[in-house]
Amino acid sequence: MNFKEELKQKQQHIEQLLMKYLPKTNTQYNQLVIDAMQYSLMAGGKRIRPIFMYEAYRMCQGSKEAINAFMSAIEMIHTSSLIHDDLPAMDNDDLRRGMPTCHIKYREDIAILAGDALLNCAFEIMIEKAVSDPDINLIKAMRAVARASGTNGMIGGQVADVLNENKPIDLDCLNYIHLNKTSAMIEGSFMAGALLAGASDEIVEDFRRIGRDIGLAFQIQDDVLDVTSTQEILGKPINSDLKNQKTTYVTLKGIDESIRIVNELLEDAIDLLKKFKDIDSQFMVKFVEYLKTRES
Ligand code: GRG
């Protein structure tokens, strides 16, 4: 099977899990929020965070069924952040993953609730696993996910991002935003996968660094794609950073230097992955190579 086929298969598997873990209802009263959750969750993202989590888990020889719930949880938290990021109070975008954003389709009030509900659901399904299998590794993995998405992670990065719209910022501040808004969840995905598999602190730290490099590269690439891609390919409006007067790697470093930094960070991640040469890290190496050329 070639890389693209393997990637598609993994994405399809994750989508089956997401459907399984989405809450069900037996009443009409809360049906709309479940529809809105499903709409955004199943709108066709790349599913990179659960894939990274699974690869770290597999490379650490994990054998816990809980990985399925944790992979679903990280994608639910990611989707909840996208729903909130698109709201009028934040980026005010109409298009996401090539479809109308949640608040355009379901109204702003329901979109806010759908984002909240996905976040809650993520923690509920992880806690459910920890209750049925009270293993400290599950709790540690849950803590990694909570930290990644919290005040000193994604939310912290988003706060700095919104507070610094419409004003020039330096590289230090921009790196804080990128490393927290985007890298933290990618680092958290790798770390949670390794922790679930019971990996040592040293290995968990290796995966954290792999996630940091990939996450920063991923966000710098987003900055570049925002000015070089098209709405059709990206599935969301281009020039969004310009519209919101955001400082990005492109405005601070230019397109060519930004692309060079992306490639350097991804090469660093590949070097770290080489430590795992005795076990099968081939898919991850190919994934990082693919990220160099991603178009959306
Ligand atoms: C819900 C806990 C919680 C917080 C909300 C709004 C917010 C706080 C955070 C926004 C974070 C954000 C939107 C970061 C951008 C990260 C990013 C690069 C998103 C795009 O990720 P892809 O390309 O998207 O993986 P797909 O659509 O493929 O899943």
Question: If you write DSSP's letter for every residue of 260-274 in order, what string do you get?
Answer: HHHHHHHHHHHHHHG
And the tokens for 161?
Answer: 């991002």
Atom of ligand 1 nearest to the CA of 83: 6
Residue nearest to atom 4 of ligand 1 (CA): 81
Atom of ligand 1 nearest to the CA of 79: 29
Phi-psi region at 17: left, alpha or beta (left = phi > 0; alpha = psi -120 to 50): alpha
Q: What is the per-residue pLDDT for 175? A: 98
% pLDDT > 70, the chain: 100
Q: What is the per-residue pLDDT for 99? A: 96
The pLDDT confidence band at residue 271, using thresholds 50, 70 and 90, is: very high
Q: What is the per-residue pLDDT for 237? A: 86
Q: What is the per-residue pLDDT for 96? A: 95
- The arithmetic mean of pLDDT across residues 44-50, rounded, is 96
Q: Is 180 in the pocket of ligand 1 (CB under 6 A)?
A: no
| Continuous segment of H or E residues that includes residue 100 | strand 99-100
% pLDDT > 90, the chain: 91
Q: What is the per-residue pLDDT for 212? A: 98
Tell me the one-letter amino acid at 4.
K
Q: How far is the CA of 73 from the centre of ligand 1 (A)?
A: 14
Helix, coil or strand: residue 107: coil
- The arithmetic mean of pLDDT across residues 5-31, rounded, is 97
The pLDDT confidence band at residue 240, using thresholds 50, 70 and 90, is: confident
And the tokens for 224?
Answer: 């570049």
Helices (H), 87-228: 102-106, 108-132, 136-149, 154-163, 171-178, 184-196, 201-228
The pLDDT confidence band at residue 277, using thresholds 50, 70 and 90, is: confident
- Please name the residues in contact with 236: beta carbons below 8 A apart, sequence gap of 6 or more: 93, 95, 96, 97, 98
Q: What is the per-residue pLDDT for 242? A: 87
Q: Is 186 in the pocket of ligand 1 (CB under 6 A)?
A: no
Residue to probe by mutation, ligand 1, list 51, 52, 84, most atoms within 8 Å of CB: 84
Burial 183-197 (b: 16+ CB within 10 A, else e): bbbbbbbbbbbbbbb
Q: Is 215 in the pocket of ligand 1 (CB under 6 A)?
A: no
Q: What is the per-residue pLDDT for 86? A: 97
And the tokens for 76?
Answer: 């639910």
Residue nearest to atom 3 of ligand 1 (CA): 81
The reported pTM is 0.97
β-pair partners for 100: 95
- The arithmetic mean of pLDDT across residues 116-131, rounded, is 98
Q: How far is the CA of 103 from the centre of ligand 1 (A)?
A: 16
Of residues 279 and 85, more confidence is placed in 85
Question: How far, in Å, CA of 58 to CA of 197, rounded?
Answer: 8
Q: What is the per-residue pLDDT for 279? A: 77
Atom of ligand 1 nearest to the CA of 115: 1
Whether residue 26 has pLDDT greater than 90: no
Q: Is 86 in the pocket of ligand 1 (CB under 6 A)?
A: no
Q: How far is the CA of 250 from the centre of ligand 1 (A)?
A: 19
Atom of ligand 1 nearest to the CA of 219: 18
- The arithmetic mean of pLDDT across residues 57-75, rounded, is 96
Q: How far is the CA of 1 from the centre of ligand 1 (A)?
A: 30
Q: Is 219 in the pocket of ligand 1 (CB under 6 A)?
A: yes
Q: Which of 160-174, 187-201, 267-281 has the lowest mean pLDDT?
A: 267-281
Q: Is 178 in the pocket of ligand 1 (CB under 6 A)?
A: no
Question: How far, in Å, CA of 165 to CA of 180, rounded?
Answer: 16
Q: Is 149 in the pocket of ligand 1 (CB under 6 A)?
A: yes
Q: How far is the CA of 81 from the centre of ligand 1 (A)?
A: 5
Q: What is the per-residue pLDDT for 1? A: 83
And the tokens for 202?
Answer: 């040293």
The pLDDT confidence band at residue 166, using thresholds 50, 70 and 90, is: confident
Q: Is 222 in the pocket of ligand 1 (CB under 6 A)?
A: yes
Q: Counting beta carbons within 10 angstroms of the beta carbon of residue 59, is it exposed (0 to 12), middle (13 to 18) or buried (19 or more)?
A: buried
Residue nearest to atom 26 of ligand 1 (CA): 45
Q: Which of 76-90, 162-176, 186-200, 231-245 has the lowest mean pLDDT?
A: 231-245
